[in-house]
Amino acid sequence: MDQQATRTKPRSYTEDYKRQVVDLVVSSGRTPTAVAGEVGLHPTLLCRWVRQYGVGAAKAEAPVIVSSLKPLPVPTADQAAEIARLRRECDRLRMERDILKKSISIFAGPLR
């Protein structure tokens, strides 16, 4: 079989998508490798995007006026408990999603 016929066209991503994924890394506090696994990107590619669009790049493009920032309110005990419950639920749902993805790939079989 011709080698040219088996090659796939490299994916291209919009600037908006790249910024959304970088925002996810920055806002979640997780590593780019962890986020890359969730969204189906190669970790090296996402690390490159974080360097390109990350916190340092955002500061250079749009300076933040410090005087206009208000301190975040401290959550009450009830709010903290609700946040903890929602995080546990989110972790459980991610795990279920990952299991479903793996089972789909197992039952779908190899692509031809």
**Predicted local confidence at residue 93, as pLDDT:** 96
- On whether both 59 and 28 belong to a single domain, the answer is yes
Closest CA to 16 of 53, 56, 70: 53
Closest CA to 47 of 36, 39, 55: 36
In a domain, 47, yes or no: yes
| Residue 74 in tokens | 């401290």
- On whether both 60 and 40 belong to a single domain, the answer is yes
Tell me the pTM: 0.43
In a domain, 1, yes or no: no
Tokens 């039952």 belong to residue:
107
**Predicted local confidence at residue 15, as pLDDT:** 86
- The tally of domains found in the chain comes to 2
Pick left, alpha or beta for residue 44 (phi over 0 → left; psi -120 to 50 → alpha; otherwise beta): alpha
Name the residue range of residue 92's domain: 73-112
Per-residue pLDDT of the chain (112 residues; tens, 9 = 90+): 455 556 677 778 888 888 888 888 888 888 888 888 888 888 898 889 888 887 655 444 444 445 555 676 777 888 889 999 999 999 999 999 999 988 888 888 776 6
Residue 88's SS3 state is helix
